[in-house]
Structure 1
Amino acid sequence: MAKEAIEGPSGWNRLLYAITITQMSVASRLLTICFIVVLGLKSVRAGEQPFYAGKTITVVIATAPGGTGHLRYTTVLKHVPKYVRGNPAIVPQYMPGAGGMAAANHLANTAKRDGLTLGGSSSALYTAAILQSSGVRYKLDDFVFLGAPYSGGPHTMMIRPGLQIDTVEKLRAHKGLRFADRSVGHALYIINRLFAYVLELNEPQWVLGFNQQEMELALERLEADALASTLHSVAREKLPLIEKGYTVPIVLRNPKGRGAESVPDFPQKRANLDQYADTPLKQAILRFHSALRPSASVLFSPKGIPAPALQELKQAFSRVWTDPQFAEEYARVIAEPIDPINGDDIEKVLAQLPRDPKIMQTYKEISALGPLPPVR
């Protein structure tokens, strides 16, 4: 018996031994199966194509080619593909009209929600939706904002030289100043109307239907007297006009409170529009205007696109806004410092916008066509 115990297990011990070996064998098999499954999943994932591989993204831009807005979009879009897995091609499609509403209506109602169609618009995108302007067939909730490279402005009013209006006093004394504009509701149209409202200009007029280049020609041909422009645009490409006698007597600060001092190459010591906001309603309108414009040249997607596409786009645009190469090219091409705001922050600003009925109605009348509303 002692010899048997030394040489091998007894019957009962043999049973325990067999069970133990069997359990170890089952566990090993299970571990092996799990390992194979994990390897299989990894290889499936490794074989998956990125969502945007071999695809083209079309960006519907709510303006015609030319001008500062166009340069902002094209500069941003040049840098996006390198941050999107699959490196898609990105092409602009210009859809001007109705102050930017044509493009926004298209994105909200017609474009496929497949992640291959995005939008780009001026701040009129926000204004028209919040004020429920005529012709709007979208809500801001129809879109996911991807961000913007700049908060907008500051702006000025450029006046043709023959009028010799180089002070606000002369501007307010002039009767029938004719503003060259693109369309009712366009961001620059609203700014021209805001100048006229706060300064209480004498019988201003609005000449519509021009693009950016045509507006400047309209002043040369005496078809109009004034136009709105960003200070950066003046500093970048319009200083020769200043030398010819064009005047820029007034400045509208941007939503962050920056004026002529933020653009060193722009003529300094100009009056700021808020100096002439001499009634509580004027002051409230200027505050509302700034809050209503969290950015210029915003890029956005229709809501409801595939989750992988939205994730790719959000991370790509976020990385563009912090890309040093993009910042350098943006400053060089557009002659304005990059001042980005991401999509989530845009949505927070809009959610906090004051909605006083009287202020909204007054601003809506300023943004529309017709007589300017009372200032008191």
Structure 2
Amino acid sequence: MLVRPVGWLGSLIVLALLAVSGDGWAQTHAEDVASFAGKTIRIVVGMPPGGGVDAYARLVQRHLDRHLPGSPLVIVQNMPGAGSMRSVMSLAAAPEDSTAIVTFSSSLLTESVLFPERVKIDFRAYGFLGNLGEDGRICFVRPALGVRDLAGLKARGRLVFGATAAGTSGNIDAAMLRNLFGLDVHIVNGYAGSAAKRLAFERGEIDGDCGGVTSLPSDWLPSGKIAVFMRLSPEPAPGLDPAVPFGGALLTSDTDRRAYDFLVTPQRLGRLFVTSGKTSPARLAALREAFGRMMADPKFLADAGKLNLSVVPTNGEQVERDIAALYATPREILARARSAAGE
């Protein structure tokens, strides 16, 4: 015979049982949504192998799996093209289960604000997992030129710098040298990435370049293979002569300094990892939590140290606030930055 609870006490018992079972279902469902068991996570790299963007991606690939629920397989796929824009655009067609993560040339951030007709991406619409560190960049020339400072390079005349494509960090850096600092820089586009530019530098095809310290061969600084005449970041990179001047300190106009600060913002956000804006809140939270644990993992940090890769972590929420601030830059500063980054 079926026995039904009766009266107010019976009703309370039924409601309590339903609440407990409902809470348990909700917790299990949330865990299922956030789990990556049986999945393959693709880290899509917007630049070719051999550069700093690729090195950080492969560092993450070796450590992220053990911090994600379900311990999925993590692989790296290089997808260069259009200054790494191709990799970001690929997220539009990516699965909505957040199994695609992209890392790209962070100069696209400022390019999207300055030249929206060319970089048709609004980075405020994406889900950022975090930033691994700054891209401490320097500008250098071949020692054979016989000059090691800005004044000497101005007096020397025409300098050939290599670049990948419009909108990449090296291209913007070279444009700043010409339009903010008065150097006669001729920019040669078409190099596949930083590794290709290094070869061109060693062969004497180009006179100089600007690049991240961590992407340079380890012997270039200590052996004097490059003559560094400017650092683009306020803080000197490890191994760099502290006497090398900071570019921002060489500018006398307040507008120029603010335009410079805007243009070098991608250096602070130099190692970004992002997923689709269609990612569910539960999935994005799981990815961000895993990314945060990974960035503090002693094994991860030890691996980064062996590779001479600096890690200065920023969480995804702070990255999104920093990007929102970029989009709020005053018009007059954007106008000067646009002319400074112009080719």
Distance 1:237 1:112, change over 3 A: farther
Give a deviation string over 1:157-184, Cα, whole Å, max 9, x none: 2212321122222111121100011111
Distance 1:308 1:247, change over 3 A: same
What is the number of equivalent residue pairs in this alignment?
336
Partner residue, 2:257: 283
TM-score under structure 2 normalisation?
A: 0.86
Match of 1:54 among 21, 38, 51: 38
Match of 1:274 among 231, 237, 248: 248
Verify the 8 A CA contact 1:232 1:336 in the aligned structure 2. yes
**Residues 1:205 and 2:186 aligned together:** yes
Give a deviation string over 1:271-302, Cα, whole Å, max 9, x none: 22223202233222222224465411200111
**Residues 1:118 and 2:101 aligned together:** yes
Partner residue, 1:12: none
**Residues 1:87 and 2:67 aligned together:** no
Give a deviation string over 1:118-147, Cα, whole Å, max 9, x none: 211121231122223443232112201110
Q: Deviation at 1:23? A: 7.9
1:1-376 matches, within 5 Å, as 31=13, 38=20, 42=24, 49=32, 51-107=35-91, 109-153=92-136, 155-202=137-184, 204-210=185-191, 211-234=193-216, 236-239=218-221, 242=224, 244=225, 246-253=226-233, 257-259=234-236, 262-263=237-238, 265-291=239-265, 294-333=268-307, 335-353=308-326, 354-369=328-343
Unaligned runs of 5+ in 2: none
Give a deviation string over 1:36-86, Cα, whole Å, max 9, x none: 995797599669756311011112211111122211121123221111111
TM-score under structure 1 normalisation?
A: 0.79
1: CA distance between counterparts of 2:283 and 2:42?
A: 14
Give a deviation string over 1:307-354, Cα, whole Å, max 9, x none: 332221121112122222222221221x24311111111111222335
Give a deviation string over 1:214-251, Cα, whole Å, max 9, x none: 21221232221101122344473423662x4x311222
Distance 1:252 1:42, change over 3 A: closer
RMSD over aligned CA atoms reads 2.9
Distance 1:331 1:123, change over 3 A: same
Amino acid paired to 1:63: M
SS in 1 for 2:128: strand
Give a deviation string over 1:68-127, Cα, whole Å, max 9, x none: 2211121123221111111111112211122221112222x3323231212111212311
Unaligned runs of 5+ in 1: 1-21, 370-376
2: CA distance between counterparts of 1:336 and 1:114?
A: 30
Verify the 8 A CA contact 1:195 1:273 in the aligned structure 2. no
SS in 2 for 1:248: strand
Distance 1:344 1:365, change over 3 A: same
Q: Answer with 1 or 2: which has the greater Rg.
A: 1
